[in-house]
Chains A and B, each alone.
Chain A
Amino acid sequence: MEDQIRNILKEHGRLASDAATLADNADLYQAGMTSHSSVNVMLALEAEFDVEFPDRMLKRAVFGSVASIRAAIEELTAA
């Protein structure tokens, strides 16, 4: 799952640093992700993991780091 998330960030996140080596808790917004590119990341994650993020999850903190994205996907796929 981690690799899939990092690949999506690399492709859609518009990060200034390498998504493959970014620390788990590194702030993706500080790494260059904008609110616009975060929407593309959300769309790619929904397609990749066949999930829909409920509106309560659509906020900065949930998409703020690799770790927080992983936690959100795990929550949605666990059910």
Chain B
Amino acid sequence: MPPAPQTSTRLDAAHRIGREIAAVHAGDVDKNARFPRESIAALRDEKLLSALVPVELGGMGMGMMELSTICTALGQYCSATAMVFAMHQIQVACLVRHALSSSDLRAYLQSVASEQRLIASVTSEVGVGGDTRSSICAIEQTQDRFVLAKDATTISYGEHAQDLLVTCRRHPAAASGDQVMVLLKQGDFQLERTSSWDTLGMRGTCSPGFKLTSSGHVSQIVPGDYGAMSSQTMVPFSHVLWASLWLGIAIDAVARTGSFVRAQARAKPGVVPPAALRLAEVSNMLQVLRISTHDVADECERLMSSSEGNEAMLAIGFSLKMNNVKIYASEQTVAIIQAALQICGIVGYKNDTKYSLGRHLRDAFSASLMVSNDRIYAKNASMLLVHKDP
């Protein structure tokens, strides 16, 4: 089935923003570890921050597949722009899929569309050892108001977002895994920076630690429990959209390598440059990464469209698959860029040529660390003790 005309228009817009804005500032964003404000502003202008918001609430009503292709497009020009965009969409997805029963949260999603508000995620916490499925902080409720304080190890673009979506325990006596999500709007919270963000890559995501203090109305607590939201939405959207943008980084690396090899070939027509064989290998790796990412995005979109599908997303088999796509994409992206660098050689290693791959590689190294692959492997190891069908 060919994509709807609208779909290609949106994808075209993402490529235009990537080419004309994100790519122009990507070097400076990386060098100065600064927020990619120009490209996020351009995405706002195209109303892409409300891509997932249902049409009746003023958004685009986009599905996972199309959003995946947009993340891949942005990843080809500026990894930080693509990651900020993806992380925001993951937050919107949680609200769109779990909060529509609340009239206040529906109204909030309308404001995401009309005001193009940017939402940051506060799932990390000092003391939980990187496990987003357990919290120390808890909602403290008095009548219809609550207060919430959280010591977050990292909040990506925390100083640039209007609003925050925070995980915490349901009440002060709740078990560590009995979590809810809470929306904090500008004015509800204060952030006190507790660490720096001078990193190897993904520098423009601006993700230092913060101490969060906040208060709000109980209607800002997303109905239901975070455990189900995590399995049905947070994890699938995170892993698929991250994989999609990492794929974008790999695509640009292979594109640069291709133009390097073609330049060699043009210099000596009639002789296939030895590097062309390596390029053929990298092209093969890229194709498998692309297929793997698309396949899972497509499956997620189908499952999300029915109640049986949403039920199936709570099963261990689905979690295994979602974890595997993240592990594979994170490792394969680095492998592809490294192979591309081997082909381009010194001109790829240099930071100031049209074949430079340093930023690609540094950004891609974050992939196996943002939710550590070792932690994910350990979860899969545990699930495989009871899961039977390979």
Set B170, B177, B315: member contacting A33, Cβ < 8 A: B177
CB neighbours (8 Å) of B383 from chain A are 39, 58
Which residues of B in the span 11-67 have a Cβ within 8 Å of any Cβ on A? none
Q: In the complex, identify which listed stretch (A2-10, A24-32, A69-77) lies at the interface while the others stay far away.
A: A24-32
Set B175, B382, B385: member contacting A30, Cβ < 8 A: B175
Task: Report if B225 contacts A (CB, 8 A).
Answer: yes
Residue of B nearest to A39 (CB): B382
Task: Report if B97 contacts A (CB, 8 A).
Answer: no
B225 in contact with A55 (CB, 8 Å): no
Interface size on A, residues (CB 8 A): 22
Which residues of A in the span 20-71 have a Cβ within 8 Å of any Cβ on B? 29-36, 39, 42-43, 46, 52-56, 58-61
Complex CA distance for A31 and B170, rounded to whole angstroms: 12
Residue of B nearest to A33 (CB): B177
Residue among B133, B175, B388, B389 having the largest count of chain A Cβ atoms under 10 Å = B175
B252 smallest CB distance to A (angstroms): 36
Complex CA distance for A59 and B383, rounded to whole angstroms: 11
B227 in contact with A58 (CB, 8 Å): no
B386 smallest CB distance to A (angstroms): 5
Complex CA distance for A35 and B144, rounded to whole angstroms: 31
Q: How large is the interface on B (under 10, 10 to 19, 20 to 34, 35 or more residues)?
A: 20 to 34
CB neighbours (8 Å) of A56 from chain B are 315
Set A33, A39, A55, A60: member contacting B314, Cβ < 8 A: A60
B123 smallest CB distance to A (angstroms): 16
A29 in contact with B231 (CB, 8 Å): no
B175 in contact with A16 (CB, 8 Å): yes
CB neighbours (8 Å) of B387 from chain A are 55, 58
A29 in contact with B225 (CB, 8 Å): yes
Binary A-proximity of B172-201 (CB < 8 A = 1, otherwise 0):
001111100000000000000000000000
Residue among A43, A56, A58 having the largest count of chain B Cβ atoms under 10 Å = A58
B228 in contact with A30 (CB, 8 Å): no
Residue of B nearest to A32 (CB): B175
Set B317, B386, B389: member contacting A46, Cβ < 8 A: B386
A41 smallest CB distance to B (angstroms): 10
Majority secondary structure, B binding face = loop
CB neighbours (8 Å) of B385 from chain A are 39, 43
B386 in contact with A58 (CB, 8 Å): yes
CB neighbours (8 Å) of B302 from chain A are none
Task: Report if B316 contacts A (CB, 8 A).
Answer: yes
CB neighbours (8 Å) of A32 from chain B are 175-178
Complex CA distance for A42 and B385, rounded to whole angstroms: 9
CB neighbours (8 Å) of A52 from chain B are 388
CB neighbours (8 Å) of B69 from chain A are none
Which residues of B in the span 345-390 have a Cβ within 8 Å of any Cβ on A? 379, 382-383, 385-389
Complex CA distance for A59 and B382, rounded to whole angstroms: 14
Residue of A nearest to B178 (CB): A30
Complex CA distance for A52 and B389, rounded to whole angstroms: 12
B134 in contact with A34 (CB, 8 Å): yes
A56 smallest CB distance to B (angstroms): 7
Please report A residues at the B interface, Cβ cutoff 8 Å: 16, 29-36, 39, 42-43, 46, 52-56, 58-61
Apart from A32-B176, A55-B317, what 10 extra A-B contacts exist at CB < 8 Å?
A30-B178, A32-B175, A39-B382, A52-B388, A55-B316, A55-B387, A55-B388, A55-B389, A58-B386, A59-B316
List 13 A-B pairs, Cβ < 8 Å: A16-B175, A29-B178, A34-B134, A35-B133, A35-B227, A35-B382, A39-B383, A58-B315, A58-B383, A58-B387, A59-B315, A60-B228, A60-B314
